[in-house]
Amino acid sequence: MVLESTVKPCDFVLFGTKGDLARRKLLPSLYQLEKTGLIHQDTRIIGVARNEMSLDEYVALVKENIEKFSGEALCQDTWQQFSAKLDYVKVDMKDTASYGAFKEHVDASRTMVCYLATPPAIYGDICKGLYQADIIDASMRVVLEKPIGHDFASSQVINDQVAEYFNENQIYRIDHYLGKETVLNLIALRFANSLFATNWDHNCIDHVQISVAESVGIEGRWGYFDEAGQMRDMVQNHLLQILSLIAMEPPTDLNADSIRDEKLKVLKALRPINSHNIADKTVRGQYTSGFVKGEEVPGYLEEPDANQKSGTETFVAMKVELDNWRWAGVPFYLRTGKRMPTKSSEIVIVFKPQPHNLFKESFKELPPNKLTIRLQPDEGVEVTVMNKVPGLTGSSAMDLQKTKLNLSFSETFQDERIADAYEKLLLEVMMGNQALFVRRDEVEQAWSWVDSIIEAWESSNEPPEPYQAGTWGPVASIALMARDERNWVESSVKKKK
């Protein structure tokens, strides 16, 4: 179904249009929005890169990328409409004097959205260049890719540079996990269902697990990844954002700042991890060679361009505690790693056991109820409940069985395509809604908590623990849970295979 256009026309300027993110994600997402009729027909999409290219060459390049990365055959009608919106400008983004070239390509009557898909180190130059060319006005929006900085101090520098030219209500900091259907569904699940809303605290929940496993390695991004590591690449942003949505208090409404105020309170409640408790609370690992989905893959230190002495972590597991009323005594166990057996992101809410067991004859200990939220793949929600096995056997004793109430998005919403997270976020920027973007204080709060962990790792001088590619991480991550007499819930993706 083609939807009515709901977005006002804009000049969507894509800085770094030849880069990996733009090619793989942003251009295909814009194309999909065109296909669903969600881009206004007067919108322009202006690619910016530093080399000479004619418009025809640029259009051909965009077509090639969409064919390669959209995962479907090109729809000729959509492509015709989409390609007519394309434009290209050559700018050396570091040369702040070269931005005059823009003027003839943009139209002051349209809102300008500048997407900075470039290294964050040049965000400041881009903002300054736009300012010097007198292009910035109050309606303009700027989208910043993650990571914003390397730590608290460097994120402040970048945020200050951008804030010199833009107000906070013009700045859209992307965390693409916030555009994933299932992450958004956390808000619906929690606040549209009294079943969960009334059981969502330390009285009813034993612990929470958040696992984000990737089967890929670093995909040729050694230069970036080795400086970052899994903590900065995944935990500082995606995992802490998911945790905030699970743990936050109900916002008064769904406005951007109402939600972001509540997420910030969660980040402020994170119990510090430092050199006193680092060994008990965290595990870091680095993959060695192994087999993923039957294919032999190199170890981290054997990746192209690798520095063979690198101590960068590709896996993190941690026990996180929140010092607030709702979550007192409820640990959040987080784990994320590259080169795991499968791609699988899941949240598991494990509820407390019943106070008294009436069914000792069939179950010495009743297994706890679990709510599993499958973020990807096979997006859905699953509740594990105990059920009587139908039949006449037994008298007072009942045969019980652990069963699942399973809501699979693809089965339940068969007519709906699950959009890529970037589609959702690009649309929200065009509509001027900041609710799914991260505010400066959230980014800084997350960095200050993460900085203390990284400092503790560095001062401990302990190398990351090796784990074979294609496994679920170092054995120590199992011990992290076992110490608390708990264990990681097996990925539902793995169980199906």
Ligand X SMILES: O=C1O[C@H](COP(=O)(O)O)[C@@H](O)[C@H](O)[C@H]1O
Applying CB under 6 A, which residues contact ligand NDP?
A: 16, 18-22, 49-50, 92-94, 117-120, 122, 145-147
- Is 442 assigned a ligand-binding role in the annotation? no
* Contact indicator for 20, 28 with CB cutoff of 8 Å: no
* From 34, 206, 214, 226, residue interacting with ligand X (rule: CB under 6 A): 214
- Is 319 assigned a ligand-binding role in the annotation? no
* Contact indicator for 492, 378 with CB cutoff of 8 Å: yes
* Contact indicator for 371, 206 with CB cutoff of 8 Å: no
| Binder of residue 20, out of ligand X, ligand NDP, none (CB less than 5 to 8 A by kind) | ligand NDP
* From 206, 233, 321, 451, residue interacting with ligand X (rule: CB under 6 A): 233
Beta bridge partners of 213: 337, 344
Query: Based on CB atoms, which residue is closest to ligand NDP, 376 or 477?
Result: 376
Helix (H) and strand (E) counts in the chain:
17, 17
| Binder of residue 367, out of ligand X, ligand NDP, none (CB less than 5 to 8 A by kind) | none
| Binder of residue 50, out of ligand X, ligand NDP, none (CB less than 5 to 8 A by kind) | ligand NDP
Listed residue (211, 209, 216) closest to 287, CA to CA: 216
| Binder of residue 214, out of ligand X, ligand NDP, none (CB less than 5 to 8 A by kind) | ligand X
Could you give the CA distance from residue 287 to residue 336 in angstroms, rounded to a whole number? 12
CA 278 to chain centre: 25
Residue nearest to ligand NDP (CB): 19
| Binder of residue 202, out of ligand NDP, ligand X, none (CB less than 5 to 8 A by kind) | none
Considering the candidates 40, 105, 207, 238, report the single residue annotated as catalytic.
Answer: 238
Query: Based on CB atoms, which residue is closest to ligand X, 214 or 346?
Result: 214
| Binder of residue 117, out of ligand NDP, ligand X, none (CB less than 5 to 8 A by kind) | ligand NDP
Beta bridge partners of 295: 292
Q: Find the farthest-apart pair of alpha carbons in the chain and give their distance in angstroms, rounded.
A: 86
- Is 214 assigned a ligand-binding role in the annotation? yes
Kindly state the smallest distance separating residue 475's Cβ from ligand NDP, in Å. 30
Listed residue (3, 2, 10, 1) closest to 431, CA to CA: 10
Residue nearest to ligand X (CB): 233
Kindly state the smallest distance separating residue 263's Cβ from ligand X, in Å. 18
- Is 176 assigned a ligand-binding role in the annotation? yes
On the CB side of 103, how many CA atoms lie within 13 Å of its CA? Answer: 10
Query: Based on CB atoms, which residue is closest to ligand X, 128 or 232?
Result: 232
Query: Based on CB atoms, which residue is closest to ligand NDP, 59 or 116?
Result: 116
Beta bridge partners of 388: 400
Structure tokens at 221: 């991004």
- Is 40 assigned a ligand-binding role in the annotation? no
Listed residue (22, 414, 428) closest to 256, CA to CA: 428
# residues near ligand X by CB under 6 A: 2
Structure tokens at 253: 């409404």
Query: Based on CB atoms, which residue is closest to ligand X, 165 or 177?
Result: 177
Query: Based on CB atoms, which residue is closest to ligand X, 145 or 321?
Result: 145
Backbone angles phi, psi at 386, to 5 degrees: -90, 140
CA distances from 24 to 21, 383, 421, 440 (A): 5, 35, 13, 27
Q: Does 420 bind ligand X (CB under 6 A)?
A: no
Q: Does 238 participate in catalysis according to the annotation?
A: yes
Q: Which residues contact 267 (CB under 8 A, 6 or more apart)?
A: 240, 244, 442, 445, 446, 449
- Is 134 assigned a ligand-binding role in the annotation? no
Annotated binding site: 50, 146, 176, 180, 214, 233, 338, 343
The residues assigned a catalytic role are 238
Q: Name the binding residues for NADP(+).
A: 50, 146
Chain residues in the site for ligand X (CB under 6 A): 214, 233
Annotated binding site for substrate: 176, 180, 214, 233, 338, 343
